[in-house]
Structure 1
């Protein structure tokens, strides 16, 4: 690590390229920036292996999108390269550099970038980026997300989240999860192919192996799952969840539509058991009397006795109203 920048240095001529690329992916993913300076013969071999590496890695690497390659080479060497998968490759042509007093002098077309167009890939000169060459200028494909890559998405139909319709033998999917998936695809510029698990299950351990949607992800048969998959600790060990799936400030109130027109004061007592109703009625009748008796044993005299007597009655009514009001979720009108 130099000046806070993490880096690796390899002598490709002495190492296994496959093992080296795996190590680079583990150490630097998802921001893999690689500078290559090798002989003409090794450059063609190296870039060919890197270009096809993701296809044999069973979705454990992504050099195609998450790596940026800067090649120090010559114009003749570039003609031997056949790169079809890597999105971000640039080249500094050393034969276009001249030196004067140990300082490099730039000539025309010294910096090239790889551009994909239909079925062809060509190195073209980087346009003038001003005084400083920014990443988006050297690697223009970084401005286009996943550049229309197709990913494999597994889905399991469930009400509201995913609806499955079969028309003329062709399955189509709609619903909330599909809306989110299409929005992400537009934002990150990728397309997707939808599939379903063969056993049509969500995913649990069977014979020490995950099945269903979780099994497809664990075996890396698909890139992602778009469904209302329940989060729990076991699944979190073999897949990554997106949090939060749903975030809203809306308040939804559900209620049961009345089935009859019966109106009665005793409807509120029906949810309670008979013993609860008896206890509640006893408290309503007995507690105010007890409070009244407790108030009456206090010594009183003169005009204050009449006032206190009226106050006790008011207090007794207030206590009774409080008890009744607790059933109807209302506050008492009396001060206490």
Structure 2
């Protein structure tokens, strides 16, 4: 018995199957009974080609082959093709006559077949003299196509056999895994398939004529294993948090970071192995003089199958590669800086909860209400003449109103109802004002952060003693192209600084970070993923400004029309639905600063005059009601006085 399994991948040609590490099937034993085919039935044999073709139609229907490519040899298979078409008229077929085809034409034909359907090629190989040559070419097509095809696992083949095998396959290297062999062997109709590198005779049908009792998984059991252990080259670049490598004590390279976690999750789902390849120029990828550099260049030149890195999906890059969505991270452009503003003193915090105008308003209200009380809170003119307005009485009224503002009980009780109403509404005004003051004062005293040097890009660009810079070409390009006025001012500032200080555009992230930490100047570093840098400092070194400069999707990328695209999109969608992508993002943005830095209290906005509109309105209503009552009291007083005069007369 001959043994010829040169690789761990099992394939078959025509009607031969073999498996790794075991002896292969004896080719001389597996033969097709020589039959004279007359279009309907094979003579001198219990196995008829009509039965083979009928079951061929059943297989393609059970497996939903709505588009089939038939490769045939005119000299040997024309009659079989015609019979198949008559039995399977409902199937859309594309015929390829491979008679006398050269290797170049066969390769071109196979590439055409691969692009016929997005879910993979479906091919029937009729017996002929070109069978062996076609199998030789398709075995190496994925390698020769430079990672643009995936015939090994993303195609399905049915190979028909009807003649005695005379050619040895010992020197062939087979890679196809989804292949079904149909024919009559030793007088019996049989079907063979493979599973996990072992050849199996398909015995799912109830009898040896009909396969309708079989399921699709019986025909191509390896199809469920996705990429079936294919080795994938993943382009990436060493970058903090995303991809780190180090050599351990056993002289073994150990990888870590978000890229590694994501690659392992996808590889487990799609069943492939992988290795990382970093670009020689250690760049992400920009177009320079018509040539793409970095990881994008790797994809364009088809040096890798996939890129997983902190790679932003820009419109320029989308023209030459395909990005996989949903993205696994949304990365903001932000600013890092050290705060040079002095902290607010505790003394100033006592007065800061209210705006100065509010204090002026309170003082004015006390004076106005005090005057009204002093002038009108006397019962009669006789009382007024006996007890004229004295300085001590005025002071008493003023201090009583201040006591109301401070919510103190000072036993002040007006004599007239109108003035009582006025004081009641003034009391409501004082309660609201005191509540706002106490709330803001509590927040102010609890704050531990310093005042920020600036709260917007507009404030930054107006600070004459500040500079800012960036270490990334893409960041600089995005800022340069941004049309918003404030970002344009930001870019113009960088250009102006660069004339006297070229370091602001130096392509070295470590320099900019060191400048933030060590240099004694006011400097802001514009960088992608500023939040990560801020969250991973041992001290409370950096302030973070993360608004106004935009964000980009960080996503995986593949070559245009890659065989991986549809599978990767499906996997990323599932990872998003299950929350695994969100978990990756949470791990990436873990706040590793001391707790004193993590307890950030947002600055409380002081109470302004516009905030007191409602309170002032209530006070105005109170004053109006008090005046009305006062008028009524005066009218009643004069009416009663007139009646008394009439009685006396």
Shift of 1:124: 3.7
Matched, 1:84 2:174: yes
Consecutive unaligned residues of structure 1, counting only runs of 5 or more, are 98-106, 248-255, 270-276
Deviation per CA, 1:211-236, whole angstroms, max 9, x where unpaired?
Answer: 11111012110111222212222222
Q: 1:5 to 1:290 in 2, by over 3 A?
A: farther
Shift of 1:315: 1.4
Map of 1:162-173 to 2, 5 A cutoff? 162-166=243-247, 171-173=253-255
Consecutive unaligned residues of structure 2, counting only runs of 5 or more, are 1-60, 68-91, 207-211, 330-337, 378-415, 444-603, 616-649
Given candidates 347, 353, 358, the residue that maps to 1:284 is: 358
Given candidates 85, 90, 94, the residue that maps to 1:9 is: 94
Given candidates 262, 276, 295, the residue that maps to 1:180 is: 262
Matched, 1:194 2:295: no
Please give the secondary structure, in 1, of the residue aligned with 2:213.
Answer: coil
Instruction: Give the whole-Å Cα distance in 2 for the aligned partners of 1:94 and 1:45.
Output: 23
> How large is the RMSD of aligned CA atoms in angstroms?
4.1
Shift of 1:198: 0.2
Q: How many pairs are equivalent?
A: 296
Matched, 1:237 2:319: yes
Question: Does the CA contact (< 8 Å) of 2:355 and 2:606 recur in 1?
Answer: no
Instruction: Give the whole-Å Cα distance in 1 for the aligned partners of 2:606 and 2:328.
Output: 37
Instruction: Give the whole-Å Cα distance in 2 for the aligned partners of 1:38 and 1:4.
Output: 20
Q: 1:62 to 1:265 in 2, by over 3 A?
A: farther
- Structure 1 match to 2:423: 309
Q: 1:323 to 1:268 in 2, by over 3 A?
A: closer
Instruction: Give the whole-Å Cα distance in 2 for the aligned partners of 1:193 and 1:186.
Output: 14
Matched, 1:26 2:115: yes
Instruction: Give the whole-Å Cα distance in 2 for the aligned partners of 1:283 and 1:305.
Output: 26
Given candidates 121, 135, 139, the residue that maps to 1:51 is: 139
Shift of 1:324: 7.4
Shift of 1:28: 1.0
Instruction: Give the whole-Å Cα distance in 2 for the aligned partners of 1:207 and 1:43.
Output: 47
Instruction: Give the whole-Å Cα distance in 2 for the aligned partners of 1:154 and 1:290.
Output: 72
TM-score, normalised to structure 1, is 0.72
- Structure 2 match to 1:111: 191
Instruction: Give the whole-Å Cα distance in 1 for the aligned partners of 2:346 and 2:260.
Output: 48
- Structure 1 match to 2:183: 93
Question: Does the CA contact (< 8 Å) of 2:124 and 2:158 recur in 1?
Answer: yes
Q: 1:311 to 1:75 in 2, by over 3 A?
A: farther
Deviation per CA, 1:219-275, whole angstroms, max 9, x where unpaired?
Answer: 11011122221222222233333334548xxxxxxxx9xxxx997253699xxxxxx
- Structure 2 match to 1:214: 296
Instruction: Give the whole-Å Cα distance in 2 for the aligned partners of 1:113 and 1:188.
Output: 22
Deviation per CA, 1:157-179, whole angstroms, max 9, x where unpaired?
Answer: 11222112145876432222212
Q: Greater Rg, structure 1 or structure 2? A: 2
Map of 1:116-195 to 2, 5 A cutoff? 117=197, 124-128=200-204, 131-166=212-247, 171-195=253-277
Given candidates 227, 249, 256, the residue that maps to 2:309 is: 227
Q: 1:198 to 1:321 in 2, by over 3 A?
A: same
Instruction: Give the whole-Å Cα distance in 1 for the aligned partners of 2:176 and 2:65.
Output: 27
Q: 1:63 to 1:265 in 2, by over 3 A?
A: farther
Q: 177-186 or 52-61, which moves further after superposition?
A: 177-186
Question: Does the CA contact (< 8 Å) of 2:284 and 2:311 recur in 1?
Answer: yes
- Structure 2 match to 1:252: none
Given candidates 263, 266, 282, the residue that maps to 2:348 is: 266
Q: 1:326 to 1:48 in 2, by over 3 A?
A: same
Q: Which structure has the higher relative contact order (CA within 8 Å, separation 6+)? A: 2
Please give the secondary structure, in 2, of the residue aligned with 1:235.
Answer: helix
- Structure with bigger helix share is 2
